Structure 1
Amino acid sequence: MATSDLKILLVGKGAREHSLAWKLSQSPSVQHIYVVPGNGGTQDLPNVSNISHISQDDFPGLVCFARDQHIGLVVAGPDDAVVNGIAGYFEDTGIPCFSPSKAAAEIEGSKAYSKALMEKYDIPTAKYKTFSQYEDARAYLQSIDCSRVVLKVDGLAAGKGVVLPANEAEALEALRLMMVESKFGSSGQSVVIEEFLDGDEISVLTFVDGSGAFKSLPPGQDHKRIFDGNKGPNTGGMGVYAPLSFLTAQDLETIDREIIRPTLEALQAEGRPFSGMLFTGIMMTRDGPKVLEYNARFGDPETQTMMMLLAPECDLATILIACCTKKLQDVAIPVRPGFACNVVVAAGGYPESFRKGDVITVEGCPSGVEIFHAGTEKSTDGQLLTAGGSVLCAASYGSTLEEAVSLAYRGVQAVQFKDKTYRTDIASR
Structure 2
Amino acid sequence: MLAIGNEVAEGRVDNDNARWFGRQFGRTIAMAVGDDAAEVLPALRFLSRCRVVVVSGGLGPTVDDLTRDFACRWLRCGVQQHRPTLRKFTGKLHRAGIKDITPNNAAQALYPAAAAPLDNPVGGAVGFTVRRAKTRYYFFPGVPKEFRAMVTRHVARGGRRPKRSAARAEYADVYQFTGVPESTLDTILQERLPVHLRTRYGIYPKLRGVDVILRTDQGRDRTEFRKTVRAHLEKFLVVEGDAAPEEKLVRLLRRRRRRLALAESCTAGLLAATITNVPGASRVLIGGVVAYSNALKRKFLGVRPDTLARAGAVSRECAKEMASGALKKLGGDIAVSITGIAGPTRGTRGKPAGTVWFGFAVRGNAVQTERQRFVGDREAVRERSVAYAISRLIRLLA
TM-score of the superposed pair, with normalisation by structure 2: 0.23
Q: Higher strand proportion, which one?
A: 1
TM-score of the superposed pair, with normalisation by structure 1: 0.21
Instruction: Give the number of the structure with larger relative contact order, counting CA–CA contacts within 8 Å between residues 6 or more apart.
Output: 1
